[in-house]
Structure 1
Amino acid sequence: MSSKIFGIKNCNTMKKTINLFEKEGFSYEFVDYKKQKPSLELLEKFLKKLDLDQVVNRKGMTYRKLTEEEKAQTENPKTAIPLLQEKSSMIKRPIIEFPNGELLAGFDEEAILAKGK
C-alpha cells in the first residue's frame, strides 16, 4: 500500500516531501489540490484526525489576503471547510495519509521516516 500526499505541485515544501519519499523508496500517490479540488468528505476526514489549526495554513499569503470576516470563518470547522475548498492554497502542506490511515500535517522528516516505512 502507498501513502497519499495532498498538496500543490509548485510548493517548495511539497517538493521536499516528494523528494524524501522518492529518496527513501516509499510508494505514494500525489493529490494536487489545483487539479482535484478537495472534497467535503476529504476535508471532514482531515478534521476528524487533525485539529483545525493543523489543517489551516495561517502563515501563507492566501490566508493573509483574507478579509477579517473570512479569517473568522477559519476558526470553526463548519465555516472553514467551504473556504478551504474554494481556497485550497490555504490548506497546510503537505498532508500525508499513511497506509494505516494516520495523518501528518506539515513537513516533519523524522515523522515521515518513522511512519513511511
Structure 2
Amino acid sequence: MSIKIYGIKNCNTMKKTFDFLAEKGVEYDFIDYKREKPDAVLLEGFLKKTDLASLVNKKGTTFRKMTDEQKSALENEETAIPVLEENSSMIKRPVIVYKDGSVTLGFDPEEIEGHLK
C-alpha cells in the first residue's frame, strides 16, 4: 500500500504537500473530497488515530459561516461526523495515512518526512 492523501485538490496547503512529496520522489494515492465525499467509516478511522479537535478545520470560511448549533455539533464525535460528511472542507488538510497506518494532519514537512522513513 502506498500512502494515501485526503483533501481538496485546489487547496494551497494540498499543493505544497504534493510539491513536497514530488521532490522526495514519494508515490501516493490522492482522494479528493470533492469527487469522493468522506463517509462515516473513513472519518471514524481518522478519529481512531487523531482527536476531533485536530481533525476539524476551524480556520476556514466554512466554519465561520456555520450557525452556533452546527459549531456546537463539532464538539462531539457522534454529532460531528455527519457535519464533516456534508462539509468536507471542514476537515483539516491534508490527512495523510502512511503505510504503517499512522496519520498526520496538515502540512508539516518535518513530520511528514519522519513518517516516510
- Match of 2:31, SS? strand
- Deviation digits for residues 43-69 of structure 1 (CA, Å, limit 9, x no counterpart): 000011101011100111100100000
1:78 Cα deviation (Å)? 0.3
Matched AA of 1:12: N
1:61 paired residue number: 61
- Match of 1:5, SS? strand
Q: Distance in 1 between matches of 2:51 and 2:111?
A: 17
- Deviation digits for residues 55-107 of structure 1 (CA, Å, limit 9, x no counterpart): 10011110010000000000000000000000000000000000000000111
TM value normalised by structure 1: 0.98
Q: Distance in 2 between matches of 1:72 and 1:116?
A: 36
1:116 Cα deviation (Å)? 1.8
Tell me if the contact between 1:55 and 1:105 (Cα under 8 Å) persists in the aligned partners: yes
1:6 Cα deviation (Å)? 0.3
Q: Distance in 1 between matches of 2:116 and 2:35?
A: 25
Matches within 5 A, 1:1-117: 1-117=1-117
Tell me if the contact between 1:3 and 1:116 (Cα under 8 Å) persists in the aligned partners: no
Structure 1 vs Structure 2: percent identity of aligned residues? 56
- Tell me how many residue pairs correspond in the alignment: 117
Structure 2 unmatched ranges of 5 or more:
none
Question: Cα RMSD between the aligned structures?
Answer: 0.7
